[in-house]
Amino acid sequence: VGEGAKLDVHGCKTVDMASSFGKALLEFIFIVMAAITLLIGINAGKSKAAGKVLYPATFTCGVAAIAYFAMASGGGWVIAPDCRQLFVARYLDWLISTPLIVISLGIVAGVSKWDILNLVLSDVLMVASGAFGALTVGNVKWVWWFFGMLWFLHIIFALGKTWAESAKVRGGDASAVYSKLAGLTVIVWFCYPIIWVFAEGFGNFSVTFEVHLGPAFT
């Protein structure tokens, strides 16, 4: 099946599916993620200090590689009620990989385990809200989006302010490294709710276009 395929699901006359180019891109992303996983994993074992940060990063990329292999091999998706191909493997990826990113940032910032757990749970609830919203139609979809935004704003505030202040207290390389990593994370993640609105929300972005943007949030 390809873009605009006819499938008798949810009463859909046509379904927005990833094009052949989108499928090829999924295969390419899988190869890249697998290579990065191997590279980071090798470097993580070189020292205990580096491992604290690089091991979570290794698992982050490893989970993403598995998810993209599932999608590239034709699995990991369902037809959503709004007649779009929804890659649930992507949401399962985010349920694991984005908390790992949060954990890595927490280690660099030097915050407490409770602070890390707090933000990890917020991250899980944010991703779950986005997934449930993508699987519904009508006004309920936007209620889920609103729930997700509440958790999202909590995460952004913590990363951009409270955790940043903790990293500054540590000083030295920790402050500089955290500033760069957290800054990049906040900028990239800020795009997520906007893309969701025009993809899973209004359906203006095609599934193939979504495939192009997916790796940014892993």
62 vs 73: CA distance, rounded Å: 16
Q: Which residue is associated with the tokens 């990293």?
A: 167
217 vs 97: CA distance, rounded Å: 9
Structure tokens at 116: 């890390």
Q: What is the DSSP letter of 83?
A: S
Contact between 103 and 116 under an 8 Å Cβ cutoff? The reply is: yes
Give 216's pLDDT tier (boundaries 50, 70, 90): low
Nearest to 41 by CA among 65, 69, 74: 65
pLDDT at residue number 1: 46
Average pLDDT of the chain to the nearest whole number: 90
Kindly tell me if the per-residue pLDDT of 108 is higher than 50: yes
Contact between 92 and 67 under an 8 Å Cβ cutoff? The reply is: yes
pTM for the whole thing? 0.88
Q: Which residue is associated with the tokens 């699901």?
A: 9
Handedness of CA 86, 64, 150, 211 (dihedral sign): negative
* Per-residue pLDDT reduced to its tens digit, 174-203: 899 999 999 999 999 999 899 999 999 999
pLDDT at residue number 174: 85
Share of the chain above pLDDT 90, in %: 75
pLDDT at residue number 9: 66
